[in-house]
Chain A
């Protein structure tokens, strides 16, 4: 158990809908990362927050957004969903931004868009 929690574990929805994925980092970790894992794109970085502030954006679509709350949990919002958004979405946390910090991953949310 990494100490990072993600809910829900599975999500099935229809095209055009909006969903929210939730992540609670390990106790004390200030940095939260979101990654998407799909068969064709592999593991790709989406967005990162540090202590409530957005610090970096990767290959995140404009239909997707995220935020980190004062209690450090984070939410990833996906809207106008398309079939291609079906993927495993991971949240990871680390204590700081140093490159020696390993990131601890949550169990993921498997999103299926029908």
Chain B
């Protein structure tokens, strides 16, 4: 069965600090995709990134970067020079193996960036 673990329940940093959010997953699939979503205080879920299991190159998008390591089943998310607007709950997610491909979410990490 799929499982996603986000061990960090809450993280608090001061603006401009770098912060890394951890995600560890379990799957029996040999090829799979992983996702990160952001849930700001307003409540909506915003898609951030999709990565596939056969591409382990780090991805960078502005201040965001993602480190995917298949050997350790981890897909970590780093925010560089954090800003107050980055304050949100961040979820890592993995589609199921079944045909419906519903997402299994981690429990989320609440990130608070203090001014």
Contacts and interface: CB of A to CB of B under 8 A. Distances in A.
B102 A45 contact: yes
Contacts, number: 64
Given A99-B32, A102-B50, A56 B100 contact: yes
Nearest to B45: A105
B101 A98 contact: yes
A33 B102 contact: yes
B101 A97 contact: yes
A2 B102 contact: no
Interface of A: 2, 33, 35, 42-45, 48, 50, 55-56, 58, 88, 90, 92, 94, 97-108, 110
Interface residues of B, number: 24
Contacts of A110: 43
Contact of A48 (B33, B37, B102, B108): B102
Contacts of A103: 47, 103
B18 to A, nearest CB: 26
Interface in B26-61: 32-33, 35, 37, 43-47, 50, 52
Contact of A108 (B32, B44, B95): B44
A107 B42 CA distance: 9
B43 A108 contact: yes
Interface in B77-115: 91, 95-96, 98-105, 107-108
Contacts of A42: 105, 107-108
Contact of B105 (A43, A88, A94, A106): A43
The 9 closest A-B pairs by CB, nearest first: A56-B100, A105-B45, A99-B95, A43-B105, A45-B102, A55-B100, A48-B100, A107-B44, A99-B101
A55 B108 CA distance: 26
Given A42-B108, A43-B105, A99-B33, A55 B99 contact: yes
